[in-house]
């Protein structure tokens, strides 16, 4: 539904704003060539469409005062959204780079990154959650996300051949950074998956959607998590991605080194993985002064 709303706004701008169709086609081309996702195109496209409809002209024809006034309106309006503001700034930067308007990029406001620590479930809470699932399919998919540290999209894109029961490996294809990776398949999860496959007989995708051959929707996975969380009695503000955070945190707490974890999570940069060091309860080594060790007896 949300994707449909974004597409309608883009189509509206194509019909009402002169030259918008041309800049959107250029945007679409650059997003594809840059290997960015379709959701990125829709987010940028919607924001650029809205500012175009607001001024009745394309953003490349606006001056600095008009753009800053519009951005201020986004921050101080009746329903301000930091996420929408962020997509608008990033979308305009992307568009101005396409048209070599570097002077416009410099004048856009910088965005301070929010440094929020992720919500993490304890091992006991994870067990409570997985036991609370009323439907076998939900128990298995939530357990699989946690067991392999998967993103929701990675789970939904899994096809039947991607799960290797003999080697106990899962092939994750074309992830967030357009790279494939392998992650271990837990023997316990393998048993659960075999039971699920025998009961549901999925076609094509490991977790099918409502129609044969389609994959499970993001909304269906979110619903499974939300309903299971209610039944578990856990009061934390947990989402599907909380299971991935919990996997990473527990892996560190139980001895996995940070670089191995980075590879299993599919992070492009170690700095992204380091946030879990602020959450994990690692065993503190003995505290001492190096001065004392300097003069210790040999």
Please identify which of the residues 46, 104, 151, 156 carries the catalytic annotation.
Answer: 151
**Residue 295: per-residue pLDDT:** 58
* Listed residues 107, 136, 158: the one ending a domain: 107
Q: Are residues 166 and 251 in the same domain?
A: yes
Rg (CA), the chain: 24
Q: Are residues 86 and 161 in the same domain?
A: no
The set of long-range contacts for 30-34, using a CB threshold of 8 Å and a minimum separation of 24, is 30/94, 30/98
* 247/118 Cα distance (integer angstroms): 12
Domain count, the chain: 2
Question: What sign does the CA torsion over 261, 264, 270, 274 have?
Answer: negative
Contact assessment for residue 169 and residue 182, using Cβ atoms and an 8 Å cutoff:
yes
With respect to residue 11, please indicate whether it lies within any of the assigned structural domains.
Answer: yes
pTM listed for this prediction: 0.67
Q: Which domain holds residue 220?
A: 123-278
Q: Are residues 66 and 213 in the same domain?
A: no
Q: Are residues 244 and 149 in the same domain?
A: yes
Domain at 260, CATH number: 1.10.443.10
Q: Verify whether residue 79 is a known catalytic residue.
A: no
Q: Verify whether residue 244 is a known catalytic residue.
A: yes
With respect to residue 292, please indicate whether it lies within any of the assigned structural domains.
Answer: no
With respect to residue 291, please indicate whether it lies within any of the assigned structural domains.
Answer: no
Per-block average pLDDT, block size 10, for the chain (298 residues)? 77 94 93 84 93 94 89 79 86 92 74 78 95 94 96 94 96 79 94 96 92 88 96 95 95 91 89 85 62 60
* 206/197 Cα distance (integer angstroms): 8
With respect to residue 290, please indicate whether it lies within any of the assigned structural domains.
Answer: no
Q: Are residues 259 and 185 in the same domain?
A: yes
Q: Are residues 131 and 89 in the same domain?
A: no
Q: Are residues 271 and 131 in the same domain?
A: yes
Q: Are residues 145 and 224 in the same domain?
A: yes
Q: Are residues 206 and 244 in the same domain?
A: yes
Q: Verify whether residue 151 is a known catalytic residue.
A: yes
* Listed residues 83, 107, 131: the one ending a domain: 107
Q: Verify whether residue 267 is a known catalytic residue.
A: yes
With respect to residue 289, please indicate whether it lies within any of the assigned structural domains.
Answer: no
With respect to residue 286, please indicate whether it lies within any of the assigned structural domains.
Answer: no
**Residue 86: per-residue pLDDT:** 87
**Residue 265: per-residue pLDDT:** 93
* 74/199 Cα distance (integer angstroms): 50
Q: Are residues 265 and 196 in the same domain?
A: yes
Please identify which of the residues 6, 50, 138, 244 carries the catalytic annotation.
Answer: 244
* Listed residues 107, 141, 167: the one ending a domain: 107
Q: Are residues 98 and 223 in the same domain?
A: no
H/E segment holding residue 170: strand 169-172
With respect to residue 223, please indicate whether it lies within any of the assigned structural domains.
Answer: yes
With respect to residue 136, please indicate whether it lies within any of the assigned structural domains.
Answer: yes
Judging by beta carbons within 10 Å of its beta carbon (0-12, 13-18, 19+), is residue 153 exposed, middle or buried? middle
Please identify which of the residues 54, 93, 153, 241 carries the catalytic annotation.
Answer: 241
**Residue 272: per-residue pLDDT:** 85
Q: Are residues 81 and 130 in the same domain?
A: no
Please identify which of the residues 3, 26, 134, 176 carries the catalytic annotation.
Answer: 176
* 27/95 Cα distance (integer angstroms): 7
């Amino acid at each position: 539904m949300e994707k449909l709303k974004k597409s309608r706004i883009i189509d509206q701008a194509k019909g009402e704003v002169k030259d918008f169709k041309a800049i959107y086609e250029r945007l679409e081309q650059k997003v594809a060539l840059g290997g960015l996702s379709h959701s990125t195109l829709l987010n940028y496209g919607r924001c650029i469409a809205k500012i175009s409809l607001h001024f009745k002209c394309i953003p490349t024809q606006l001056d600095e005062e008009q753009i800053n006034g519009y951005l201020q309106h986004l921050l101080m309006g009746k329903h301000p959204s930091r996420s929408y503001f962020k997509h608008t700034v990033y979308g305009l930067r992307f568009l101005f780079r396409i048209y070599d308007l570097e002077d416009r990029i410099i004048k856009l406001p910088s965005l301070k990154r929010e440094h929020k620590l992720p919500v993490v479930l304890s091992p006991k809470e994870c067990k409570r959650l997985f036991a609370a699932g009323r439907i076998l399919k939900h128990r298995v998919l939530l357990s699989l996300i946690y067991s392999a540290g998967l993103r929701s999209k990675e789970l939904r894109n899994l096809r039947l051949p991607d799960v290797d029961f003999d080697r106990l490996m899962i092939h994750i294809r074309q992830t967030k950074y357009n790279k494939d990776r392998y992650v271990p398949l837990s023997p316990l999860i393998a048993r659960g998956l075999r039971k699920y496959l025998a009961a549901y007989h999925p076609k094509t995708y490991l977790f099918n959607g409502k129609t044969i051959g389609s994959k499970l929707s993001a909304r269906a996975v979110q619903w499974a998590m939300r309903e299971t969380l209610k039944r578990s009695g856990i009061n934390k503000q947990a989402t599907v991605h909380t299971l991935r955070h919990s996997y990473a945190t527990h892996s560190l707490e139980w001895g996995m080194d940070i670089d191995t974890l980075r590879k299993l999570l599919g992070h492009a940069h170690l700095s992204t993985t380091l946030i879990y060091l602020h959450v994990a309860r690692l065993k503190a080594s003995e505290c001492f002064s190096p001065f004392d060790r300097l003069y210790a007896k040999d």
